A = this chain, B = another copy of it.
Amino acid sequence: MSRTLYDLAAADPTLRFSPYCWRTKLALAHKNLDFETVPWRFTDQDVIAFSGQGQSGGKVPVLVDNGTVVHDSQSIAEYLETTYPQAPTLFGDAASRALTGFVKQWTEDTLHPTIVKIVLPDIFKLIDPKDRTYFRQSREPRIGMTIEALAARRPEFLPPFQAALAPLRDTLKAQNFLAGVTPAYADHIVFGALKWARTTSSTALLAPDDPISLWMERLLSYYGLRNQPPASSA
């Protein structure tokens, strides 16, 4: 029985910051599945060539579950739900799964773009030096400016981030988790985004008593991960 997750790492191998890898780590915890992680850098293409993602460049998370290889966080979540149906459900019933689809799109279309503008220059400093050329060449065309120009504009990106968080904050004032009394994959998706922000930002983005910070702690506690990050095993 072996289960290995290739998990994006910074120069410091214990610093794991990918929002998509965090989704998978929480989904595995939700399914009560043990796993080891392998710290992976953007340019370690040969290491995950076995995942068959083709010449355009492979990405993590890549999960190897007793010999079965699955890549892409959404595919991994669906694989886990199908393969381990006796464990707690990630998606709930059909309506809950569909609503989780909206939470995913909100996270990727609204929340991620506000975060990336803030933390991209911080990430550039944190990643392994061997990744920096790839990172600059792949990210600067997407953001339409240099990393240094983005860094200079950081203050203007903070208010849109806070504005985007309003519905999340207001929801978490009224309920423990996005999925209700206990967390589910909708929580994992949004947590991934904010853990990415928290682990990379050079300044604190949320006060410790913010309902969103409290929810993040509650989520980690629920899975017994508060003082034991699941990424530290490898």
Question: Which A residues are within 8 Å of any B CB, using their own CB?
Answer: 92-103, 105-106, 108-110, 163-164, 166-168, 170-171, 174-175, 177-181, 184, 186
Listed A/B pairs (29) with beta-carbon separation below 8 Å:
A92-B93, A92-B95, A92-B96, A93-B95, A94-B180, A95-B96, A95-B179, A95-B180, A97-B180, A98-B175, A98-B177, A98-B180, A99-B99, A99-B100, A99-B102, A99-B178, A101-B171, A101-B174, A101-B175, A102-B167, A102-B171, A102-B178, A102-B186, A105-B166, A105-B167, A105-B168, A108-B167, A109-B170, A110-B166
Q: Find chain B residues with CB under 8 A from A178 CB.
A: 98-99, 102
Q: Find chain B residues with CB under 8 A from A170 CB.
A: 105, 108-109
Instruction: Please report whether the interface of chain A is mostly helix, strand, loop or mixed according to DSSP.
Output: helix
**Is there an interface contact between A181 and B94, defined as CB atoms closer than 8 Å?**
yes
Q: Find chain B residues with CB under 8 A from A100 CB.
A: 99
Q: Find chain B residues with CB under 8 A from A110 CB.
A: 110, 163-164, 166-167
| Top-6 shortest CB links A-B | A98-B180, A99-B99, A105-B167, A92-B95, A109-B166, A106-B167
**Is there an interface contact between B92 and A171, defined as CB atoms closer than 8 Å?**
no
Taken together as a complex, chains A and B put the C-alpha atoms of A163 and B111 apart, in Å, by 12
Q: Find chain B residues with CB under 8 A from A96 CB.
A: 92-93, 95-96, 99
In the complex, what's the smallest C-beta–C-beta distance from A193 to chain B, in angstroms?
13
**Is there an interface contact between A99 and B186, defined as CB atoms closer than 8 Å?**
yes
Which of A99, A174, A177, A181 has the most CB atoms of chain B within a 10 A radius of its CB?
A: A99
Q: Find chain B residues with CB under 8 A from A102 CB.
A: 99, 103, 167-168, 171, 178, 186
Taken together as a complex, chains A and B put the C-alpha atoms of A100 and B102 apart, in Å, by 10
Taken together as a complex, chains A and B put the C-alpha atoms of A96 and B94 apart, in Å, by 9
